Structure 1
Amino acid sequence: MRRSEVAVIPAPDFSFRRVGAMVLRYWYLLRGSWPRLLELAYWPTMQMILWGYINQFMATSSGWVAQGAGVLVSAVLLWDVLFRGQLGVSISFLEEMWSRNLGHLFVSPLRPTEWITALMTMSLLRTLMGVLPAVLLAIPFFGYSVFGLGLPLLGFFLNLIVLGWALGLVIIALILRYGMGAEGLAWIVVFMLAPVSAVYYPVSVLPGWLQLVAWSLPSTHVFEGMRGVLYDGAMRWDHLAWAVGLNIVYMALAVGVFLYGFHRARVRGALLQTGE
């Protein structure tokens, strides 16, 4: 019998056994990655907490919101600065991981501190490119310009993006430690700060014990300062000073965590291993 005439027994059209095998494979991947397990419950829980506090605040203070023209638009735009600042650092790093180029970078004379500077620069460019169109479109759509905040806007912007950089460096260190299974942290970590950053409502809405956590974040002082400008027409310099001081501490800690995580990854050879 010629080779072309050899009978080939076709496989069954549909096999529950093969389906079960693939489900088992994905279950083992999920079970072995705590960041993936965290992500499953994270979004529903975070949305519930955030919108619960917004609902609680609106139910008692809707008139207060109406008095501050553009307060929610300003909050959304400034929050996006923090989010995109963090994501800009994380995504630039992940692009090197996805292309399996991380090991090649450090065959060159590139130093970790130089890489950090490049990541922050790209984060700034990504943030400006992402936020500026939204800022400009808010003028014809809603008749509100965030530039009306004046010079304090620059202080708010810088403090939020620096906090985003600090978060991004910590996320990179976690990915280097736990592998690509932890890449989902790039999208979820920053939103853990949303309920306690008082983005859409004042800190007074939060329970007493949670207010202590809120005041330890630079972002909380930024958003409280923003509302001070919009409602009182005056800059709260105490909030700005707290934001700057806390950012200095957090950035120093984040750089230390990143450098330690990078060193450990280099020792373990993880810069060339981009798997789970």
Structure 2
Amino acid sequence: MTPPEAGSRLDPRERSAAQGFAFRRVYALILRHWYLMRGSLPRLLELAYWPIMQMITWGFLTQFLARESSLVAQAAGIFIAAVLLWDVMFRGNLGISLSFMEEMWARNLGHLFVSPLRPLELVTALMAMSIIRTLIGIVPATLLAWLFYAYNIYEMGLPLLAFFVNMLVMGWVIGLLVSALVLRVGLGAESLPWILIFAFWPISGIYYPMDVLPVWLQVIGYSFPPAHVFEGMRQVMLEGTIAWGHLVAAVVLNGLYLSAAAAFFLRVFTVARVKGLLLNIGE
């Protein structure tokens, strides 16, 4: 007599949960990374180190320019706000890519996907960890900006939330692309999280308006959300008005890019699983 399949012995509700999306598996993966991060003081210090160092550096530069330029004197916190928003995107990228590569460094992907964990649940957990890592890095820097330079970025109100979310989502886009590429070509590409994101540095108008750039470079810059976010930020700080055109453009572009990046990651993941790359991770 042929023994029944293992899956047939499961309760129908348990079998349905194993086959579909389950938030408890997402939570379990978030909990794993949270314990890993919480148990390592160097990891926690690294999250806050760069935002604080950049805030201090650009804060001193702002103080110098405020004495030399009437324009900057009218908006003394513009450079501090810019560096903090840029770091949201930077941390959003690292929050996904480093969390994913920690699984690869530990050679744990094969173990994870012996369980009922789904690739989409992995992506959701990585995004959640990205939010946690970003907040740990950014919040202390914003408090120090208030203590050292009397600059309160939270005075921007709701526009700040819109800027934060758009920069975070663009960080997710880069993080998913990097994770997919590292999964496909191996850990020899593990420097990509730091390389790819800085390709956006000169075309995003972080510390200068976009009209400084040549027209053809403005076209390229405006095809990505960061340029719209930083232009919108300057309008809020200098004119006190919300640039709805830039905000809508950033949201639409982020929606398109995030959908494409998630699809690309899931496709590469499927190919990697078929080819056995989850168990053969190396340089």
Say whether the fold is shared (TM-score over 0.5): yes
d(CA) in 1 for partners of 2:69, 2:184: 46
d(CA) in 1 for partners of 2:245, 2:162: 12
TM superposition shift of 1:195: 0.7
TM superposition shift of 1:169: 0.6
Relative to 1, partners in 2 of residues 1:86 and 1:103: Cα closer, same or farther, differing over 3 Å? same
2:91 corresponds to which residue? 84
Q: What residue ranges of structure 1 are gaps of 5+ in the alignment?
A: 1-57
- Asked if 2 retains the 8 angstrom alpha-carbon contact of 1:96 and 1:102, the reply is yes
2:258 is the counterpart of 1:247: no
1:26 corresponds to which residue? none
Find 1:114's aligned residue among 118, 121, 132: 121
Instruction: Give the structure, 1 or 2, with the largest relative contact order (CA under 8 Å, sep 6 or more).
Output: 1
TM superposition shift of 1:262: 0.5
1:4 corresponds to which residue? none
Matches of residues 138-177 of structure 1 in structure 2 within 5 Å?
138-177=145-184
Matches of residues 211-222 of structure 1 in structure 2 within 5 Å?
211-222=218-229
Find 1:104's aligned residue among 111, 119, 143: 111
2:187 is the counterpart of 1:187: no
SS at match of 1:93: helix
SS at match of 2:83: helix
Deviations 1:172-198 (CA, angstroms, capped at 9, x unpaired): 110011100000001221111111111
Find 1:70's aligned residue among 50, 74, 77: 77
- Asked if 2 retains the 8 angstrom alpha-carbon contact of 1:69 and 1:230, the reply is no
Q: What residue ranges of structure 2 are gaps of 5+ in the alignment?
A: 1-64
Equivalent AA in structure 2 for residue 216 of structure 1: S
Equivalent AA in structure 2 for residue 166 of structure 1: V
TM superposition shift of 1:85: 0.4
TM superposition shift of 1:67: 2.4
2:245 corresponds to which residue? 238
- Structure ID, larger Rg: 1
d(CA) in 2 for partners of 1:82, 1:75: 11
- Asked if 2 retains the 8 angstrom alpha-carbon contact of 1:90 and 1:168, the reply is yes
Deviations 1:200-249 (CA, angstroms, capped at 9, x unpaired): 11001111110000111111101000000000001111111000000000
RMSD value, Cα: 1.3
1:271 corresponds to which residue? 278
Greater mean alpha carbon deviation, residues 61-70 or residues 106-115: 61-70
Aligned-residue identity in percent: 57
d(CA) in 2 for partners of 1:63, 1:215: 28
- Asked if 2 retains the 8 angstrom alpha-carbon contact of 1:85 and 1:161, the reply is yes
- Asked if 2 retains the 8 angstrom alpha-carbon contact of 1:112 and 1:259, the reply is yes
